[in-house]
Amino acid sequence: MPELYDLHCHSTASDGALSPAAIVLRAHQHGVTALALTDHDTTAGLSEAQASAEATGLKLIPGIELSTLWENQCFHIVGIGINPEHPPLAEATRNLQNTRTERAEKIADKLAKKRIPGAMEAVKKAAGDGMITRSHFADFLVSQHHVSTPQEAFDRYLAKGKPAYVATPWAELDLAVNWITESGGIAVLAHPLRYKLSANWMKRLLTAFKNAGGQGIEVITGRISSDEIRLAATLASRFELAGSTGSDFHCPDQWVELGRLAPLPGHIKPVWELLN
Ligand code: AMP
Ligand code: MN
Ligand code: MN
Ligand code: MN
C-alpha cells in the first residue's frame, strides 16, 4: 500500500472539533498512513493520539504548530518528529498556555467594551483543557448571532486592525525553531502563501528561517490551487527546503478532509525523508 502523509491537523487540544483519538481514527479511515497531529502551541493531545495510532496501525508523528513572531508579524511554524518532553519545548508549551489564556482575557475585555459580554466564560467552556484560540471566539460570536460565519467574526472583530484584536507576545521565530530542532524535530514553515508577503519579504523570511535551522516548507496545504502549489514548490526549490504536505484539518465538512491532498511535485524533496 502506498504511504499517504498528512503532516498538519488539529484536535480538541487546540481548535479542532475532534478528539486526538477520533482524528487518528478518521485519518486512518481516509487512507492516511502517517499523520502528524499539530495543535496550536500544545502537545497535550499527542499521548492520546499515540495510543489510538497503536490500536489502528497508523504511524503517528508527534507534532505542534507554534505561533511565532518575525518582524512583528505572526508566522506559524509546524514542528514534526518533535520530542514533546524535551525540557525547553515542554517549558515553552507550558508558558504558551498562560500566554493564550491572558490573551483570551484581553480579547474578551475588548468584546465586552463593544457590548458583547460573556465571551471568556464561553470560550473557556468550549476549549475545556485545550488551548483557547481565536476560532473559539469566532464560534462564540456566531452562536450569539453577532455575525453569521466564523470568517465574518474575523473580518469584523478578531483580525489584525479590528476592535477585538490583541497583539500577542509570541516567541521570536528563531527561538521557536530552536525549540523544535533541539527536541529532534524538523521545523516547517506552515502555509507560506497565507501571509501575503511580497517576493522580497518572502526571501527575507525564508533566509531568516533557514538561518535559524528551518528545513521544510508546506508545498501542499488545505485549499490550494495548482498555481499556488507551483509557487510554493518554486520557493522550496529556490531556498533548498524540503516540501511538506498537510490538510490543516480542523473539523469535518468545513475544512479539507484528512489525507485529501494533491501529490508533492516530483522534483521536491519530501520532508518525511528527513525524519528518522
Ligand atoms: P489564533 O488563536 O490566533 O492562533 O487563531 C487560531 C485559528 O484562527 C487559526 O488556526 C485559524 O484556524 C483561524 N483564523 C486565523 N485567522 C483567520 C482569518 N482571518 N479568518 C478565518 N479564520 C482565521
Ligand atoms: Mn486553527
Ligand atoms: Mn496555521
Ligand atoms: Mn493549522
* CB-neighbour burial class of residue 59 (10 A; exposed 0-12, middle 13-18, buried 19+): middle
The atom of ligand 1 lying closest to the CA of 155 is: 19
Residues 188 and 239 in one domain: yes
| Residue 259 CB-half CA count within 13 A | 17
- The whole-angstrom separation of Cα 53 and Cα 42 is 19
Examine the domain organization and report whether 123 and 144 are in the same domain. yes
Based on the fold, state whether residues 148 and 257 are members of the same structural domain.
no
pLDDT of residue 50: 98
Q: Is the CB of 191 under 6 A from ligand 1?
A: no
What contacts 238, CB < 8 A, 6 or more positions away? none
Do residues 73 and 183 share a domain?
yes
One domain, residues 201 and 120:
no
Do 85 and 149 have their domain in common?
no
User: What string of pLDDT tens digits covers the 276 residues of the chain?
Assistant: 789 999 999 999 999 999 999 999 999 999 999 999 999 999 999 999 999 999 999 999 999 999 999 999 999 999 999 999 999 999 999 999 999 999 999 999 999 999 999 999 999 999 999 999 999 999 999 999 999 999 999 999 999 999 999 999 999 999 999 999 999 999 999 999 999 999 999 999 999 999 999 999 999 998 899 999 999 999 999 999 999 999 999 999 888 999 999 999 999 999 999 997
135 lines ligand 1 (CB under 6 A): yes
In a shared domain, residues 137 and 198: no
pLDDT of 84 reads 98
**Domain boundary at 132, 158, 184, which?**
158
Q: Residue 223: its pLDDT value, please?
A: 87
Spatial separation of the C-alpha atoms in residues 19 and 158, rounded to whole Å: 25
For residue 130, what are the domain limits? Answer: 98-158
| C-alpha of residue 134 to centroid of ligand 1, in Å | 6
**What is the value of pTM for the model shown?**
0.97
- For residues 39 and 87, membership in a common domain is answered with yes
pLDDT of 127 reads 98
> Measured from the CB, is residue 159 less than 6 Å from ligand 1?
yes
Closest CA to 191 of 170, 167, 213, 216: 216
Residue 82: predicted pLDDT: 98
Mark whether 207 and 268 lie in a shared domain: yes
In a domain, 82, yes or no: yes
**Do residues 142 and 195 touch, judged by C-beta distance below 8 A?**
no
Listed residue (146, 141, 98) closest to 119, CA to CA: 141
Q: Looking at the structure, tell me whether residues 244 and 177 fall in a common domain.
A: yes
- 44, 13 contact by CB (below 8 A): yes
Q: Are 77 and 176 in contact (CB under 8 A)?
A: yes
CA distance 13 to 46: 9
Q: Are residues 21 and 87 in the same domain?
A: yes
- What's the CA-to-centroid distance between 1 and ligand 3, angstroms? 30
Which atom from ligand 1 is nearest to the alpha carbon of 103?
2
166 part of a folded domain:
no
Q: How many domains does the chain have?
A: 2
Nearest CA to ligand 1 atom 7: 135
Q: Report the pLDDT value the prediction gives residue 276, as an integer from 0 to 100.
A: 77
CA distance 230 to 100: 35
Nearest-angstrom CA–CA distance, 119 and 100: 14
> Do 206 and 242 share a domain, yes or no?
yes
